[in-house]
Each structure stands twice: as C-alpha cells, then as structure tokens.
A and B are shown apart, each in its own frame.
Chain A
Amino acid sequence: MLKPEINELLTRTGPGTPMGAMFRQYWIPAMLAEELPENDSPPVRLKLLSERLIAFRDSEGRYGLIDEFCAHRGASLWFGRNEQSGLRCAYHGWKYDVTGQCVEVPSEPDNNNFCANVKLTAYPLVRIGDVLWTYLGDPAKQPPLPEFEFALVPPEQTYTSKRWQESNWLQAFEGGIDSSHVTFLHSGGLKSDPLFKGAKGNEYNMNDLKPFFEVAEADGGLFVGARRNAEDGQYYWRITPWVMPCFTMVPPRGDHPMHGHFWIPIDDHNCWAYSFDYHPVRALTEAERQAMKDGHGVHSANIPGTYRPQANKDNDYLMDREAQRAGETYSGIKGIAMQDASLQESMGPIVDRSKERLVSADTGIIKARQRLRKAVLALRDEGVVPPGVDPAHHRVRSAAVVLPRESSFIEACQDALTASPGVPQSTV
C-alpha cells in the first residue's frame, strides 16, 4: 500500500507537479516516426504530460513540436496548412516555424517586426530509430540523446508500435515489472503466440508456477529477477530491467526478438504504451514483422488509422468467455497487451494504492515506487538529476538464463544485462 499523498505525488505529471518536473528531465517518446511520414505531411495533435501540442514536419524535413494553439486568438493549429517551411493557422494565416517562432502575420505590413516577438512554446523533436523523441524540460539542462538499443540497431532489426491505454502511467508501468502476473494472466500465450512459442525457457515457466524473486538496484533503476527451477538443480532466471522513469524490458524467449515498453503519460488518466521488438544481431523476418503488425507478442491490433486497440473498454475488450473456459486465454482477453491493459484500466484511471494488500512477491513494485519517490523528492528539494537521464543508464538488456544454484544473477549476468552492439542476447 501507498499513502494517498505519495500516490498523488507519483501519478500526477502535469506542468508544475513534482513528478511532472521529473519526467521533464528525460528524453521521452513523443510519437512514432510513421505519424509524420513525409515533408509537409498533415500536422498531428498530441498531448504529453498534460500539455497539448502539435507536431509537424516542414518542407525541409525538420520536425517541430509546438503549442497546439495559435498565439493570435487560440485556434488549434491542427486545422493549419503545413506549407513552405511552416505551419500556418487556418483562421487568420499566422505562420510558425518548427521552433515555434511566428514568421508571418499577414495582416501586418511587410517588414513589420511584430511577429519577431511572437513565439509559441516549442520542444525539440528528434528521430532516433522508429521513434520521435522529445524533451519537455529546461533547454539549458537538455541531456544527451537517448541510447536505448532498440532505437539504435539497424532499421531492419527493430519494430515499434504504440497503443493508447486509458489509465495512469504508473499502473501501466507497474505491470511492466510485475513478474508475478505472467504465470497467470499470460499463460495461454506461451503455447500459441508466434513471438513467444517454442522456446526451451517456456517449459521452465510452465513447470514451476511459483517463482522466487530477486530485486537488485541498477544505476538507472532496477533489475527484477524471477527464478524458477530448471534441471540438475539449476535455476532458470528471467531478468527484467527498469530504467527510470518508465522504460522496461521483457526477458527474451529463445531466438525470438527481445521486447519491451515505454509507458508515457498523456495526462493523468491516459498513457501511451510504446511496445518494441528488436533483435540485436539479425533482421526481423517477414513473418515476425507481420506478427507484430497483427498485434501478437507485446503489440496490439489497433483500429486502422488510429492507435486505439480494437479491443478496448468500449467493447469490453472483446471478452470471450469460451476461450477463458477452454484455457486458450486465462482472462478471456486476446493478446498479452490487452490482457494487461484490460485489467489495468479496470483498476480505474488512477488506482487508489492506499487500498492494496501487497505481498512479498510485490517487492519489485515496492522498490520501484520507493526509487521514484526518492528521485522526485531529491529533484524537487535539491535539484538532483534523477537516474536514467544519463545515456549510460540506457544500455541495458533483459536476459533469460540458466544458472547454478549458488550464483547471484546480478553478478553472473553483468554482461548479459548490458546492451552491446553486435552481441547476441542471452536467452533460453
């Protein structure tokens, strides 16, 4: 359980909130690159950390992320014309460049410098991999660009999707490090999902339903290890890294691509679940890429042209009681992404953590909340830069390994848990 005031502290991310200030220390995914596919493509409305923004790509291919509303009389620039290196408001024709600078006020005489003094709030928008990243903090403190491996491998080795989740970011994120639900909620998928099935590790998963857990601190966050019995008195370990504030990875299965998530606050009641898959040393196959697009693995099948899952709260997530009864799915919901999302959304937009009854298997979550709280307060009270800002903290990987009983995973897996270009993942 968490005291109500701590729950508030960790869940509110709008401007002026302590957690909002913390999120504004990091480069975070703002959108997928595919949302701005070409120069002068239609502008995209988006909300991030409770700020309404508009993203566009100008005639020279520069990306811009600016205040959604025109400085003149507040019309949405979503209706604007993206033309000749700027976004022009459809109402009276004021035009802005990617830095938010107003470059033309048609009603004013030529060469008048009125517009020089008009500038909308703007944030950087930078493409790395399939993601456009932004930094919503103080420009003077902008950290180096992110170095997550999934975004740095060659394009043919990686795939990223996103889905809208109708819950606060924290409960979505907590699912990402909550290894104890996998045995139940996702049990169906190990046998059938094209992006999981067939791995030797799956047998250990299914043969031992009561894993032991080990939680270890990392410079940028945590490693949560789930341990099951393997043959010859050895242990099968699945190790999940968390990089603060909201990057998690799922331990790999066999030679399947590795996957993970970013949990990004839209506002306090909604978040984006970015889901990526990549293979460190080989291209994704056509079949794998297709499976991802079809919503298998950690991805979701979205309503075409949107990032809202087809199974969503308006249709009860397409609950299938027959599949539930037959054991094809544990909860009756198809696909691991929506299995998670359905339950997390059912908790309410912001779950009341003062009502929980936690058990020792929840220690990873307890520790993560504690690290978040400490970092938020250290930033607020002493200006301490939180863990996870330094790109060195981004170079982590998940791992699935079999170790002798006496090994400590954190000591035995130093290399396995470090992202190294060209080195295959450690997986069973």
Chain B
Amino acid sequence: MTAFMRPVLLNSCAMAATEEEARYRIDVPIKGRQGARVVALDEVANGILRRVARQGWNAARFLELASRGAAAVVLRDLDGVLSSLGEQLETADVVVMIATADGDEHAASAIGAACTARGIMTAGLILDAGGGVGGAGTALRPHARVLMVTSDENDVSEVLLALRA
C-alpha cells in the first residue's frame, strides 16, 4: 500500500478544525508589543505622526527628526525630549518609518542600516500624493523589510494597530 492511500492520523483534522472545537483553543490575553518606534522623516509625516499618536497605543513611541540631514540622527518625541537613535533602538522590536516623497534620505538610510545591524524589523510607509516614492523611498528600500506606498494616511494607524504597537 502506498503512503498516498494511507490516512495515518485517524481523521483528526476533521474534528479538530470545526467551529465547535474553537472554544477549546487556549485563550490567553495577548500582550501588546512593547518596542514599537514610529519615526517621521519629514514635515508632512510629522503632522501625520502627531495625529496618529493621539489614538491610544500600547507602548509605541512617536518620534520626529530633531534636524534634517544631520550627520548623527537625533530624535525628538512629542513632548520635545531629545534622544539618540541608539538609545531609541536599544529596546525597539519594530521601527515604522513614515515619509512623503520629501523624506530625509540620509535619516532613512541611517535608521534602516542601524536596524539591520541590530536585527530590528522595519517597515516604511511612503505617503504618495502622486509624486512617487522619492528619495526617502529609495533610501529605505535596501533596509525596510516592507515598504508600502499609499495615498491613504489611515494606513499608518492600520499597520500600527495590526502590529499591536
């Protein structure tokens, strides 16, 4: 008898995958993500960042660039407190970068490279008002595990929500 003709597990799938069995699935509350960092890479992105930050989040930190094109990336949170990129990444488990076509390319690649070196997951959301992905998109491409080009700023909160940020 060939393996092909031999059901080996006594048909347990048929029972295990029913709706009734769903109530026996172990149900423990899922802890939200503790290390999400959301970084805006230009002025328009800053505006989006502030709007999104107002919604309730787990432990996500919302950060802007303290200055554009700076050699070392300095970040500023929404209370105006400055920190270095290294400090922010110490406890990060995902970094979501938001930019328009005008995003700071230098910061994009510095943050992306720092995350790659530390094994931190990255995502880039490029808000496209018809102007293409721009320099920030190109700078992010080698580093961002996922790059989403979108015309809808709601995608930012959508992604953060899905990541339990």
Show the binding face of A for B, using Cβ within 8 Å: 1-2, 166, 212-217, 269, 313-323, 334, 342, 345-350, 352, 355-363, 366-367, 370, 405-406, 408, 410-411
User: What chain A residues lie within 8 Å of B132 (beta carbons)?
Assistant: 408, 411
B146 touches A319 (CB 8 A): no
User: What chain A residues lie within 8 Å of B27 (beta carbons)?
Assistant: 355
User: What chain B residues lie within 8 Å of A319 (beta carbons)?
Assistant: 8-9
Supposing A319-B8, A319-B9, A323-B3 touch, asked if A214 and B148 sit within 8 A by C-beta, the answer is yes
Q: A1-B30, A214-B147, A405-B141 are in contact. List 11 more A-B contacts (CB 8 A).
A: A212-B144, A213-B146, A215-B146, A215-B147, A319-B9, A347-B17, A348-B22, A350-B19, A359-B121, A370-B154, A408-B141
Supposing A357-B30, A359-B163, A408-B133 touch, asked if A213 and B147 sit within 8 A by C-beta, the answer is yes
B21 touches A313 (CB 8 A): no
15 A-B pairs with C-beta separation under 8 A: A215-B147, A316-B8, A319-B8, A345-B17, A347-B17, A348-B17, A356-B162, A359-B94, A360-B96, A360-B123, A360-B146, A360-B159, A366-B159, A370-B154, A406-B138
B17 touches A346 (CB 8 A): yes
Write the B114-158 contact mask toward A (1 if CB under 8 angstroms, else 0). 000000011100000000110001100110111111111011001
B105 CB, nearest partner CB in chain A, Å: 12
Supposing A363-B148, A367-B148, A370-B158 touch, asked if A316 and B7 sit within 8 A by C-beta, the answer is yes
B7 touches A214 (CB 8 A): no
Supposing A217-B151, A348-B17, A357-B30 touch, asked if A212 and B146 sit within 8 A by C-beta, the answer is yes
A1 touches B147 (CB 8 A): no
The secondary structure that dominates the B interface is: mixed
Supposing A214-B149, A269-B19, A345-B17 touch, asked if A316 and B11 sit within 8 A by C-beta, the answer is yes
Q: Which residue of B lies closest to A317 (CB)?
A: B13
User: What chain A residues lie within 8 Å of B96 (beta carbons)?
Assistant: 360
A346 touches B16 (CB 8 A): yes
Complex Cα–Cα for A334 and B133 (A): 41
B1 close to A (CB within 8 Å): no
B55 close to A (CB within 8 Å): no
Show the binding face of B for A, using Cβ within 8 Å: 3-4, 6-14, 16-19, 21-22, 27, 30, 94, 96, 121-123, 132-133, 137-138, 141-142, 144-152, 154-155, 158-159, 161-164
User: What chain B residues lie within 8 Å of A313 (beta carbons)?
Assistant: 11, 13-14, 17
A326 CB, nearest partner CB in chain B, Å: 12
Complex Cα–Cα for A114 and B148 (A): 61
Complex Cα–Cα for A97 and B146 (A): 54
A411 CB, nearest partner CB in chain B, Å: 7
A348 touches B18 (CB 8 A): yes
A16 CB, nearest partner CB in chain B, Å: 21
Complex Cα–Cα for A360 and B9 (A): 35
B17 touches A213 (CB 8 A): no
Complex Cα–Cα for A286 and B51 (A): 59
User: What chain A residues lie within 8 Å of B151 (beta carbons)?
Assistant: 217
User: What chain B residues lie within 8 Å of A212 (beta carbons)?
Assistant: 141, 144-147
Supposing A360-B121, A360-B163, A406-B138 touch, asked if A318 and B3 sit within 8 A by C-beta, the answer is yes
Supposing A313-B14, A359-B121, A360-B163 touch, asked if A318 and B94 sit within 8 A by C-beta, the answer is no
The residue among B12, B18, B147 with the most chain A CB atoms within 10 A of its own CB is: B147
A342 touches B13 (CB 8 A): yes
Complex Cα–Cα for A349 and B3 (A): 28
The 7 closest A-B pairs by CB, nearest first: A315-B7, A360-B123, A316-B9, A213-B146, A313-B13, A215-B148, A363-B146
Complex Cα–Cα for A352 and B19 (A): 11
A316 touches B133 (CB 8 A): no
User: What chain B residues lie within 8 Å of A342 (beta carbons)?
Assistant: 13
B8 touches A358 (CB 8 A): no
A360 touches B122 (CB 8 A): yes
User: What chain A residues lie within 8 Å of B13 (beta carbons)?
Assistant: 313-314, 316-317, 342, 345-346
Q: Which residue of A lies closest to B122 (CB)?
A: A360
Supposing A348-B17, A349-B19 touch, asked if A405 and B142 sit within 8 A by C-beta, the answer is yes
User: What chain A residues lie within 8 Å of B137 (beta carbons)?
Assistant: 408
Q: Which residue of A lies closest to B121 (CB)?
A: A360
Supposing A315-B11, A316-B12, A408-B137 touch, asked if A367 and B150 sit within 8 A by C-beta, the answer is yes
A317 CB, nearest partner CB in chain B, Å: 7
Complex Cα–Cα for A155 and B102 (A): 49
User: What chain B residues lie within 8 Å of A345 (beta carbons)?
Assistant: 13, 17
Complex Cα–Cα for A363 and B30 (A): 20
User: What chain B residues lie within 8 Å of A323 (beta carbons)?
Assistant: 3
Supposing A213-B146, A314-B11 touch, asked if A363 and B159 sit within 8 A by C-beta, the answer is yes
B145 touches A410 (CB 8 A): no
Complex Cα–Cα for A372 and B6 (A): 41
User: What chain B residues lie within 8 Å of A357 (beta carbons)?
Assistant: 30, 164
Q: Which residue of A lies closest to B6 (CB)?
A: A318
Complex Cα–Cα for A345 and B16 (A): 10
A384 CB, nearest partner CB in chain B, Å: 15
Complex Cα–Cα for A411 and B149 (A): 12
User: What chain A residues lie within 8 Å of B149 (beta carbons)?
Assistant: 214-217, 410
Q: Which residue of A lies closest to B160 (CB)?
A: A366
User: What chain A residues lie within 8 Å of B19 (beta carbons)?
Assistant: 269, 348-350
Complex Cα–Cα for A316 and B9 (A): 6
Supposing A212-B146, A320-B3 touch, asked if A367 and B163 sit within 8 A by C-beta, the answer is no
